[in-house]
Structure 1
Amino acid sequence: MTGRRKIAMEPTLTKYEKVMNYIKECIASGEWPVGSKIPSQRKLAELFSVNRSTIVTALEELKADGLLEGVMGKGTIVVNNTWTLLAASPPSDWNEYASVSLPKPSPAAETSEAEQPAHLIELSKGELAQDIFPTDNMQQVMMRLAESLEPFGYEEPKGYLPLRQAISDYMGRQGTEVSPSSILIVSGALQGLQLISAGLLHRGSTVLLEKPSYLYSLHVFQSAGMNLCGLPMDEEGLQAAAISKKAEAGPSSILYTIPCFHNPTGILMSESRRRELLDICEQKQLPVIEDDIYRELWIDSPPPPTLKSLDASGHVLYIGSFSKTLTPGLRIGWIAGPDQVIERLADIKMQTDYGSSSLSQLVAAEWISSGLYEQHLSFVREELKKRRSAALEALNRYMSDLAEWDVPSGGFLIWLRLKANIQVKELNLKAYKEGVLLNPGSIYTGESIQAIRLSYGYASIEEFEQAISKLRKIILDDN
């Protein structure tokens, strides 16, 4: 097994580092899969012409990284081969692209100040309406915290421990068991993606993702020198079979997915599709980023188990956030994954911003641990149910002959697919001049597409209907 692989002989590496790199390459290529026994210390020493103490040093380092484990009676076993491997082999030039990459502006943002309408109905807004914000409860939380407030210092690298414990408990109630030590608090999901791209992935890597996808509206992975590869979707979510055709062996590819109430389509990935996806990722040794920030916005029934909870091999990094459920102003999200990976990301975060806001972390911890958060979610779901019903009624009244759409079972997004051959960019600009702000589908595909992402979570029910009525008039006037 070992004789087939060429030994790297970089002159700048120490002997034990050469051994480590060789083992990592064998794991990354799939030559040594998870659960396999690696060659004995004696064989490795002979292969590299070094003494056994050098081999022992290399193996101890790899065990500390979480890649290997000594098992009584079995020898040294490979125990991980995706995110943990990436954390053990981080890019050396992450500082070159460690700046936050923001979403691309809507074409409406290109309109001059003179043309801006006095009032905008924002069907583009990816957040909840202000009247859903729990003002009274937030005031109570802030007052309780103020009574026992102490001077702030920098939090520990992974974040405020009581918040990580509260998130651990909360995820456990959802069926996803994650220890507080395996959670990193970040300043929103966007920073989580930025840390992953800068600290774990190498230039030239391929990011597999749904097409369309929110990720196309960001520069996070592209600015880090990675390529996006869109995969098709159906009513059950990402078509898992397409992964096999696109994924490359080892950590040269990763998968990014939004399985719950996908942005922008609103699709909920079925449980069977989730299991199929994980089976393929296991076979392909494909690391997965599960962006699950919409999970708690279910309307009809709770979604299937998280990919993280179904993953037995450490392939999934989980991203959660309070931005879509409570308020984006807190700027609190989290990443859950293998300890070694979280340690690596925490180190980079501390070098980037010295940690997320202490006050925001205190507030978030109080919301979860007090039970207020789950009470608030029940209210949010009832509000979204009313808004969804009104939105679908408006669409049926004004757009049934002009477009198609699916009924979302959660979240607040509808993917409107236009039937006629319409210049969506022109439609978007005309709608803007009429006081309606939209997000054209091209933002989520990187290319022209006959689709618009609508949000019914921010504008009022009355405003949503007004906007759809105006949209119909614009389309008919142009045809």
Structure 2
Amino acid sequence: MEWKPTKQSHQTFHEQIVNWFTECIARGDFPIGMKCPSQRALAVQFEVNRSTINTALEELKAKGLLETRVGSGTFIAQNPWPHLLSQPKWQQHINASIHKPNIETIQLINDYEQRNDMTRLGTGELALELLPTNQLEKSLREITLRPQAIGYSEPQGSYELRESLCIHLKKRGIDTTPSNILIISGALQAFQLVALGLLEPGSFIFQQKASYLNSIHPFQSAGMHMYSVDIQSNIHETLERMKKNRHGLFYAIPTLENPTGRIWTSEEKKCVYETCKQLSIPILEDDVYGELLFEEAQELPIKTFDQTGHVLYVGSVSKTVSPGLRIGWIVGPQTVIRRLADIKMQTDYGSSAISQAILTHWLTSGIYEQSIANLREELRVRAHFMERLLEKYFSNIATWESPKGGFYIWVQFSKPVITKALFVALLEQKIIIHPGYVYEPNEFHHLRLSYAYATFEQMEVGLQKLAAMI
């Protein structure tokens, strides 16, 4: 919800809120039976007192537009007025739809991150000043776009880009061909394509205990079961017992895990690979942070062990260049790539041709490597700054591992203090955090902090307020 009442209006705040709710109900934006946000959440969104919200809601109830259900909350009334009866019951359609809604905390994060007045302490994207805006503008002037290149692309994406990626991926230890690569619109699309094209409902998706997949629902919405495993325990016995005769897939971020920032050891990578190979469980390897290690020593992907096409390898430039380019890739067996390309063509007819041309230019001209080197140094400075703040404000109540690259520090508190109430209270202070329970259900000891987005001043003020509130 982007709307909020204004002081410039001739109406009071509560009158503006009543009229806005009424218009939204009349248009069908707020369908019959929809649950309304809490008074506290509305007060934060509209930047008014809770008493103002309460007055507005009571008036809407008096008009018959809202109704309260004891113990459940406030909802759009089943019969707000007669002419609404002819409208579709959208909430029933929404509730019965295939795709699962995200948890409320993630929905609030997505809404509030668009506001310029928020301090974003957990955001998984680069700060505006870290985006190579000038270099991208320069590249647009340098590249040549043929008419054929800016039409619908080949099912697997630009052949020139796939050729360039083959050369680039050799530096990551991956030897592949253009026929084994599919260009996608960011890594998230890889999960959606795999869920739709390779797995049956009821399949098991194995993952680490705290996992990025818990904050999105591409597999859950396709009727699959998420199951957390510990790669440091008896993983073979666990996977064998859970999989049985069902399809399964192992999701892994071995280099700079999201949200923990952890790097798997070579032994762990080999163990997971050999176990999954023996049990015929494909591996979906997410390597979007793999090029952002601070040290020169390279961490090789699991894909480098793969001689039989057992690993689907996913990369992207959303974390290294710009999420706005919407360009990523999947590397896998040709049969799988053709299958996923067919589904992609049915959904979006190919990724942006202009973005593909820009990335091809960056890979072939050396701009990409230089940009990555500069970015790593910028992130290293930011990481050290945030860690000094953690030592200053949290050393007596929390622990963490020093970041080795990427965006994140996974902070563990001695008590379960990272709650929904804390999250909402910080929103009122215009601070957004990413609580641990977003990545692991019922986990209230952890917090994912990001040093990639907030300014140095915002990090200082934000963490100081967080410490005071805890």
**Contact conserved, 2:417 with 2:444, CA < 8 A, in 1?**
no
Cα RMSD between the aligned structures? Answer: 2.4
How far apart in 2 are the matches of 1:449 and 1:468? 18
Check conservation: 1:264, 1:453, Cα contact below 8 A: yes
Matched, 1:280 2:279: no
Instruction: Tell me if 1:301 matches 2:296.
Output: yes
> Are the equivalent residues in 2 in contact too, given 1:98–1:194 (CA < 8 A)?
no
Superposed displacement of residue 243, structure 1? 4.5
Asked if the contact 1:438/1:452 (under 8 Å) is kept, the reply is yes
- The alpha carbon displacement at 1:285 in A equals 1.6
Measured after TM superposition, the shift of residue 412 of structure 1 is: 1.0
Distance 1:309 1:140 in 2: 35
How much does 1:107 deviate? Answer: 5.8
1:244 shift after superposition: 3.0
Which residue, 133, 139, 142 being the options, matches 1:141? 139
Match of 1:132 in 2: 130
1:308·1:318 contact (CA, 8 Å) conserved in 2?
yes
2:224 pairs with one of 226, 229, 243: 226
Counting only pairs closer than 5 Å after superposition, residues 166-185 of structure 1 correspond to structure 2 as: 166-185=164-183
Q: How many residues align?
A: 371
**What secondary structure sits across from 1:201 in the alignment?**
coil
Distance across 2 between alignment mates of 1:120 and 1:280:
45
Residue 117 of structure 1 contacts residue 434 of structure 1 at CA under 8 Å; is this kept in 2? no
1:174 partner SS: coil
Counterpart of 1:204, as a letter, is: G
Contact 2:418–2:447 under 8 Å retained in 1: no
In the TM superposition, what is the alpha-carbon distance from 1:246 to its structure 2 partner?
2.8
**Partner SS for 2:219:** helix
Structure 1 residues 271 and 110: alpha-carbon distance in aligned structure 2, compared to 1, 3 A threshold: closer
Deviation at 1:364, TM superposition (A): 1.3
Deviation at 1:302, TM superposition (A): 3.5
Query: Which string of whole-angstrom CA distances, capped at 9 and with x for unpartnered residues, describes residues 307-330 of structure 1?
Result: 111112221000000001100000
Q: Deviations over 1:436-472 (max 9, x none)?
A: 1001111101224311111110011221121111111
| Corresponding position of 2:121 | 123
Structure 2 CA distance for partners of 1:353 and 1:336, relative to 1, 3 Å: same
The change in CA–CA distance for 1:211 and 1:388 in structure 2 (over 3 A counts) is same
CA-to-partner distance for each residue in 1:339-372, whole Å, 9 max, x for gaps? 1110111111111111111111111111111110
**Counterpart mapping for 1:313-462 below 5 A:** 313-422=308-417, 424-462=419-457
3-state SS of paired residue (2:449): strand
1:464 pairs, out of 445, 459, 462, with 459
SS where residue 256 of structure 1 aligns? strand
SS of the residue 2:155 aligns to: coil
Sequence identity (%): 38
Please name the residue that 2:156 is paired with. 158
* CA distance in 2 between partners of 1:98 and 1:187 (Å): 24
Candidates 235, 238, 241, aligned match of 1:242:
235
Q: Residue type matched to 2:313 in 1?
A: Y
Aligned residues of 2:285 and 2:313 also touching (Cα < 8 A)? yes
Is the Cα–Cα contact under 8 Å of residues 126 and 457 in structure 1 kept in the other structure? yes
CA distance in 1, matches of 2:313, 2:367: 23
Q: Following TM superposition, by how much is the alpha carbon of 1:427 offset from its aligned partner in structure 2, in angstroms?
A: 1.3
TM-score, normalised relative to structure 2: 0.75
Partner residue of 1:474?
469
Read off the aligned partner of 1:160 and give its amino acid letter: S
Cα distance in structure 1, aligned partners of 2:427 and 2:440: 21
> 1:209: how far off?
0.3
Q: Which amino acid aligns with 2:188?
A: L
CA contact (8 A) 2:326 2:355 kept: yes
Within the alignment, does 1:271 sit opposite 2:270 as a pair?
A: no
| TM-score, with length taken from structure 1 | 0.73
Q: Deviations over 1:107-131 (max 9, x none)?
A: 6818999xx9982110121011111
Q: Cα deviation per residue 1:218-245 (whole Å; 9 max; x = unaligned)? A: 110011010000113xxxxx43632431
Structure 1: how far apart are the matches of 2:111 and 2:321?
33
Q: Deviations over 1:14-49 (max 9, x none)?
A: xxxxxxxxxxxxxxxxxxxxxxxxxxxxxxxxxxxx
Structure 1 residue 250: Cα displacement: 5.9
Question: In 2, Cα distance between the equivalents of 1:103 and 1:111?
Answer: 10
1:238-271 CA-partner distances (Å, limit 9, x unpaired): 4363243134256611100111110000001111
Distance across 2 between alignment mates of 1:102 and 1:296? 32
Contact 1:261 1:410 survives alignment (8 Å): yes
In the alignment, what sits opposite 1:106?
A: 105
Distance of 2:204 and 2:395 partners within structure 1 = 39
Corresponding residue of 2:11 = none
User: What is the alpha-carbon distance in structure 2 between the residues aligned to residue 330 and residue 421 of structure 1?
Assistant: 39
Residues of 1 paired with 2:204 and 2:365: CA distance? 42
Q: Secondary structure of 2:288's partner?
A: coil
SS of the counterpart of 2:183?
strand
What's the offset of the Cα at 1:292?
A: 0.6
* Conserved 8 A contact 2:183-2:330: yes
Unaligned stretches of 5+ residues in structure 1: 1-96, 233-237
Letter in 1 for 2:147: E
